[in-house]
Structures are given as C-alpha cells and as structure tokens.
Chains A and B, each alone.
Chain A
C-alpha cells in the first residue's frame, strides 16, 4: 500500500505519531480532577481488541473490575472516559451495548463503574443511539440495553441514528443526484430528499446537542452507546465536544479530537472507508460514518464562522485522506492493527505534514476569534445545507466563489496591516511628543 512506500519530500518538524499521546491528553484533565486514572489493562489489546492500550477510567475502579466489565460489553468495549467538562466536572463516557441478552443478565462491576461517575444524589443519562425497538430486538442476539432496575440512577434516552448500509445507500443516492446535473427542479429536490442525507445529519446533530445539553445545562454525566460503540457513538461524543469545548475548535484541538475519538477509539476506518460512493460492489461494512461527522462539523462551522480556527479545507482534506492517503494515519481499524502493521515505524503521520506552517495557512480560518463559549447550532431544516464543497465540488465552477474568498482574505489581512501601522505611527508620535515635552521643560 502506498503509505509504506511514500517518502516525504518535506522536512519533518514534528512527528505526528507522537503529537497526541493519551498521557498528554490526560494531563489536561488531571489538573482539574483527581477522580480519574489512566489504566493500562489493555496494553496487550487482550481485554478489548478495538481499544487503545491506555484508557481513562474512574479512579475507584481497578483493572480486575475492568476485565469483568469487558465481558459484559459488546466487543469488550467497557465504559471509558471520552470527555471531562471542566466547567462542572461532568463527563461523557462511551462504550458498547450491554450484553444483557434475553436472560436479563447483569454485571455489578459495570453498574459500579458508571455509578462511580455520579455525584451523590445526582442522576445520569444513558443515550442509546438506537430506537427502543431496535435495542429491544438486540437482546435476541445477546445484546440489549441497561435496565432501570439495575441502573436506577440513570435515565435512558433513545435516539435513532442510522447505521451501515443505510448510510452508504444514502451517500450513493446523494452523489447520484448531484452528478445528475438535471435542469428539472422537481427531480433534483425529490432526489435530494430521497437520499435522506440531511435527515441523518439532523439526527446526529440533534443527538450531539442533546448530549451537550445534559452536561452543560442539566449538569449531569452521560454514557453513550449504540450497538458496537464504534460508529454513531463516536459521532455523538466527538460532535458534543465541538459544541462544548473551544479547544476542539482549534486546529490542534481538532486533530487531538480525531486521534482520541476516532482513531484510538477504534472506528474501523479500513472497513468503513474501503471504497467510497463510486464503487459498484457493495462492501458489507462500508459506511460514510466519518464523512457524516465531518459534514456535521461543517454545518456547525457555517453557523459559527468565527468560532473555528480551521476552515472547510481542513475537513475536505480529512475526508480525502480517510479514503486514500500517502500517510499511515487512517490505515487499519484500531490501535492493535496499527501496532501489528508497525505503522509508526514504516509510515508517515498525516499530522506531521498538516502541522507545518506552510500547510497550516491553507487550513486556517481568517475570521477566527478565540472564545470560550459553548455553541448551540440550529437543527432546523432551513438551517442545514448541502455541503457543496464536497458534493458539488466537481460539478460546478467555483471560480467566482474562490475569487470572492480571496478578496475577503485580502480585506482581513489589510485590516491587520493597517491596525499595526496605525499603532506604530501612534507610538512614534507619542515618542516625538515626549521628546518635545522634555525639550520644553527647562
């Protein structure tokens, strides 16, 4: 595969493989709280094959307990910390579905684990990304959901985020509609509607907003899971962080988010991004989950154009590299595979390339103004738009739009220039003034 043969033509200033290590990320939290710890229970990937070697768990729970909990969760994906909200100490945890099965099996260690995140007398929310009937049907296959009797302090909310081939078909229909170039308005609108793409976006965004609301408004911790905990779960946890945490909206913060919540969290990129919308054979596990996430970020970016340090180009670039890249970052399905493939030694990290100043300038948003606010996007259909930068990219000329963007950047640059100049001149004038002042007084 290409990444194994690629030799970079640029100087590597920073090795992207080591830019976002879990220990470094954890330090950002450990300064604020002592209720959590790093666990190395999975360092051989024996407890959970899709998890990274290091995870963050409540301090009160020991590794033995974690091993037991792993047997109760789909794919061994026991609940781990996804995000710590500094403002009020509430957290987002994520996991796979509980394997309650038809017998109503329970696991005391699992209950203890998630209860450990609750403050005395407070309750938490479990956001199940599957509709109730789907969650109920899962029991027949050994899965299920958290029963009230065993989790009395938790309220369960069901959402309805689609998965697998439904998303893939949605993408295929959308791409076909965009390539149609029809002059028939009714045909275009009906094909756009039939693809359901924006419906999925709305559902994902709504769920993320709900999660963020639980933390920020209700002051409650949450646990998010779907079936496997590798798709819709990650969409929700990462989007919720975009909403809640300004750091995720900076370039480095966003990269760290992708590292943590997608790459290390074990989203199966190899399976999901094998081919894309243009392939003829239907791959069973192919699904544009990551693209839906990027599109959702784009929707928020458009609604809050000054709150993101990066621009649309970064998102488009990530989309491209998830499918085909000269870098090793998106290869494999999880950390275990990446270790086996020895990617760190044999390939270059995407971040090494992106974070070079000459590249960064392409991805920087000229309108960015750092703020520390929580941003709440509108999910009304009128507020959501088709991501033309991805879906109409090759179908229409962007010449005038690009020129307009250039002009906008020029105005902003000129503004900075003028302000700097004015400051220099004023200082000069002030100096001359004091000199004269000194001359005047005897």
Chain B
C-alpha cells in the first residue's frame, strides 16, 4: 500500500474505445492493494487486477482532463480521463509500481484468501495428479509418455531439448537412448525427430555448439523441421496485432493487411501444422516421435500438448485439459512467470506462447464443435488466470522453483476453483458418444483460421453479436436438466395423489407439497434473459441500457451551416433500442 498515494479520485471519465470522445461514463476511481476499481454513475463496477496491467500511458493533457490509457495482458484496454493532472500523475506512478512486482511473495496468490483450511487447500492441489495420468496412459515408468490412443501400437511422443552437437560432437548415450525409444515401438522401424525450429535457426545454433541431430549418426531416424518461429518473433507479432486492433476508424483493408503484416495467424497455423504432423506420424505411420526446439519448454510444449489433444479424447474433457496443462506445460518447465511477465524481469523473455496454444485449441473447437467438453469461456478463463497470479499453478518457472516457493502450502490451485464453476464451462453440444471422431484431423487450409475476436476484444462488447447463441443454448441445456427433474417430480406427485385418492385418504402434507411454486415456473422465465458471453462478471450490464448514440459516418464537410453533426463515428454499436 505504500505505493499508493491517492486511493480515490472522483469525476473520472471512462471512454468507450469504439465511439467518439463525448461518449463516456463518469464515476469514481479507486486504488486498492490488488485492484483498480471504477464505479460509474449507474453503480456499474469495472475491476482491473494490477497484475493484469501490461502498460500504463499518460497521454497529452486535453481540455477535459488528463488521459490515462491502461493496456492489460488479457487484451482489455481502458481509457480514463482524470480531471486533475496531479491526480493522474499519482495514479500513473502508483500503477507503474503496483503492476511490476519484484518478488514472487508480492504476487496476489500469496495473499489471496478464499477461506479454506489447509487440508482443503492441499486437496485442491491434489486434484490433478500426474501419477494417475501416467497410469491412465499405461506407462510403467515416468520417463515415457505413451499416447492412450495408441496403446496397441506402442508409438510414443517424446520430448527433450536440443542436442549439444555443434558441428561434429556425438553422444553415444544419446544415440542409444534414441535407439531404445525406436526399439520400444515394434510397429515401426524408424522414428521421427521433430525439430520445431525453422531450419535456418537450427543450423545457426550449430555454431554455438548446439544444433540438431546428424542423421548419419542416428540410424532409423527421419528428420523433420516444422518451422515455428521463436519467442521474440511471436512477441512482436502479437504486438503488431494489438496495434491493429486498437486503431480508431479502422478500415476493412487496414484490418486485413494489418493481420497479414502481423503474421499472427501464420504462426498459429504453423503450430497447428506441426501438431498435425505429430499426430499423423503416430496414428498413420505408427512411428514414435521425438520433439525438440531450442530449450524444450516453448514450441515443444505447444506441439506435444496440441498433438496429444488431437490424438486422445480424454484431453478434450474439462479434467483432461487440466491434466494436459499440468503435464505438458507446468511440470515440463514452461517458464510461465517469465513468459507472462509476472515480475519486473527481462522484457525479452515475455512471449505469448501459451496464448497461442489456447488459440490453437479454440480453432479446433470451431472446426469440431461437438468434440470438446469445455467451451470458449473455459479457455478465456484459464488465460485470465495465467496472468492474474491469483493461483499458484502458473507462478514460477519450473517445478524446482515452485517447490522452493512452497506454493502448495502458501497458495491455492486454480483447478478446483474452475471445477466448482463447471457448469459455466461446459459445452452444451458436447457429445461423448462414439459418433464424435476419436482422432481429430483438422483442415489447415488458410481460410480456416479466423481472428479470435472474443479473445482480443473480449471486453469490447460493442463488437460482438448482440445475443450469444452459445449462452442461450447453454442456459437452455441447464434448464432442460431442471425441467426433467420437474417432470419426474410432478409425475411422482400425481402418482402419490392418485394412490391416496384410491385409498380415500387425503393428508394435509400432500396438499402442502403441491403448493410451493414449482421451480419450472422460475426456469421458464429465465428463458427470456439473453445474456452475453460469460466474461468478467464486473462487466455485465443490462441489455439496451447503454444510451450511447450510433454514429456511422463523417458528415459532409461542404455544409457550412453550423449545426451539430448527425453522424460522426465510424463504429456502429450492436444494440437494441425500443
């Protein structure tokens, strides 16, 4: 709290990003130890976690006040106008401090208190048990991963970091290990080694004494470069994408050329293609695959986890997905804290590697809408929490660090938190019957990849469809379950009634059991509500309550009559009015 000089500022305006300057809400801004809170004149609350803040900017002073722009790691952008420059400056400085923690212990997870006792906390951590998972896969020892779909074929996905081969070094043990891997698969004489880097990069690494396996030295190995760019390219790609998204008065041309220029979808496709190659090698060729990149914790994680998702339906369930993340990301040492910038560290280590993985999964849910037990909100919520530092799962950069920080004793696990709210994350179209494909074979022709508006504009509600079909179906599905219960209930009551009648006895209790309002009445009223995407609760508003005007174009300049412009903005607002 010592960083906070001003804890409350009144008469602050919150601008709507997608309309012109005179559309804004006025309210009060509060600064707490963990959050920024804005309450507007309609009592609507907007909460922003300090940990989520990626960038704070003070813009040039205007007549209406001092603008403060905050960009968050979950892609929310808020634009405040603070009436007094001094207040703005104070908040700006406070936010700079609060958003960049120096120590792990200052992160939210270490102070977050959901009021559970120690044994509940521990049980939470034990919910996802990797030992159980390896048993499920049928693996005898913990050095091997066997894909469940191929138990019969014994093909395996393996991972490691790059060999330190330089230009001529060999390692007999390494060669024997790979031989052993290969031999462990009786179905195929050869195995693949997938290097997820572009070929040029791998060769360049040779000069530094690293590099890639020399095929001559490893018999029965087929080599495959799959060309996924490095973390710096990805960071820059996302940066460019966000710049396009934030452009005011964006034309269709600029949007698409911006997308192309950023290259973001190209990278997503590269990851997806690599995972497909992996899955095909396993399924079609029954070959084992060894995957590596430079360090083994970025692209390797992406490819292995995505590949597993394609192959094994278990990972497409809610629990299975949690297990997948624990297995292929957390336990294998993806450097979450560095990649997500949890602490004030090296900005060159920050990179949206996990975000890309989530986006690939989203693309799969779009192509195979019935194959996943979870919905988009699940992915968005996980993304929210890799940055929020509210839970201990993603804190630290490897298992060793996590143990040193004593995360299991001092913080809580995200997974039980999500499981408790499971009904929000269930895909109502999920079919667990045999009709769904066991192995997914996505089509990666370029036009299948779409811009993930719900992720990158999650908080820009005006851009989204006014009614979420998904939410409606989800609610209906829930309602159906309730209605089914009601039917059973009513049927049994009627039966009881009839029995009593034939007995000729009618007790008061039976009369009373009919009186209370049937829950069916309540649920049928719920159908009228049309809710938006289940995003951050703080942003939920009532339909049609936004009085913002629609302005659709620039007014003709040649009219000299000084009358207020009818139309002045490029952005429409998806809304209903009476």
Contact = CB atoms under 8 A, between A and B. Distances in A.
Interface of A: 125, 132, 155-159, 178, 181-190, 192-193, 196, 198-199, 201-202, 205-207, 209-210, 213-214, 216-218, 302-307, 367, 371-386, 392, 395-397, 400-401, 403-404, 407-408, 411-412, 414-415, 418-419, 421-422, 425-426, 428-430, 432-433, 435-437, 439-440
A396 B549 contact: no
Given A418-B480, A425-B491, A411 B428 contact: yes
Contact of A186 (B260, B487, B491): B260
13 contacts: A156-B559, A187-B446, A188-B446, A190-B257, A190-B260, A196-B252, A202-B252, A214-B566, A217-B550, A376-B573, A380-B462, A400-B371, A419-B524
Contact of B497 (A367, A408, A436): A436
A192 B256 CA distance: 8
A436 B512 CA distance: 13
Contacts of B469: 305, 367, 408
B514 A429 contact: yes
B490 interface: yes
A377 B520 CA distance: 34
B443 A397 contact: yes
B47 interface: no
Contacts of A436: 497, 500-501, 506, 511
A372 to B, nearest CB: 8
Given A378-B574, A411-B428, A418-B480, A206 B552 contact: yes
Contacts of A157: 553, 555-556, 566-567
B177 interface: no
A185 B572 contact: no
Contacts of B371: 400
Given A157-B555, A210-B552, A367-B469, A429 B497 contact: yes
B18 interface: yes
Contacts of B556: 132, 156-158
A429 B30 CA distance: 55
Contacts of A385: 450
A185 B446 contact: yes
A303 B253 contact: no
Contacts of B561: 155
B577 A407 contact: no
B550 A306 contact: no
A188 B257 contact: no
Contact of A404 (B269, B429, B490): B429
Given A189-B265, A206-B552, A383-B463, A422 B573 contact: no
A229 to B, nearest CB: 20
Contacts of B501: 432, 435-436
B558 A132 contact: yes
Given A210-B567, A404-B369, A378 B463 contact: yes
A303 B468 CA distance: 9
Given A400-B367, A425-B490, A428-B494, A433 B524 contact: no
Given A383-B572, A426-B490, 10 more contacts: A157-B567, A202-B251, A213-B552, A213-B566, A367-B469, A373-B576, A380-B570, A382-B245, A384-B252, A411-B480
B574 A422 contact: no
B487 A422 contact: yes
Interface string B445-489: 111111101000100001111110100110011011001101100
Contacts of B259: 189
Given A304-B466, A418-B484, A421-B487, A378 B369 contact: no
Contacts of A189: 256-257, 259-260, 265, 446
B503 to A, nearest CB: 12
A196 B253 contact: yes
Nearest to A211: B552
B453 A379 contact: no
Contact of A306 (B435, B464, B530): B530
B550 A376 contact: yes
Contacts of A201: 252
B250 interface: yes
Contact-residue bracket for chain B: 35 or more
A199 B501 CA distance: 72
Contacts of A401: 369
B498 interface: yes
A interface SS class: helix
A155 B463 contact: no
A396 B448 contact: yes
B112 interface: no
Nearest to B493: A429
The 8 closest A-B pairs by CB, nearest first: A188-B446, A193-B256, A381-B255, A404-B369, A418-B483, A425-B490, A189-B260, A185-B266
A396 B445 contact: yes
A422 B486 contact: yes
Nearest to A407: B429
Contacts of B465: 302-305
B24 interface: no
Contacts of A439: 506
A379 to B, nearest CB: 4
B368 interface: yes
B7 interface: no
Contact of B370 (A196, A207, A407): A407
B479 A415 contact: yes
Contacts of A187: 446
Contacts of A196: 252-253
A435 B502 CA distance: 13
Given A156-B556, A210-B553, A188 B447 contact: yes
A303 B483 contact: no
Interface in B122-151: none
Contacts of B518: 422, 426
B219 to A, nearest CB: 32
Nearest to A195: B256
Given A304-B466, A400-B369, A206 B553 contact: yes
Nearest to B518: A426
A411 to B, nearest CB: 6
A181 B254 CA distance: 23
Contacts of A377: 572, 574
Contacts of B549: 217
B444 interface: yes
Contact of B473 (A185, A205, A411, A419): A411
B578 interface: yes
Contacts of B64: none
A183 B555 CA distance: 42
A183 B270 CA distance: 10
Contacts of A372: 578
Contacts of A376: 550, 572-577
Contacts of A412: 473, 476
A218 B563 CA distance: 13
Contacts of A214: 566
A213 B476 contact: no
Interface in B242-298: 245, 250-257, 259-260, 263, 265-266, 269
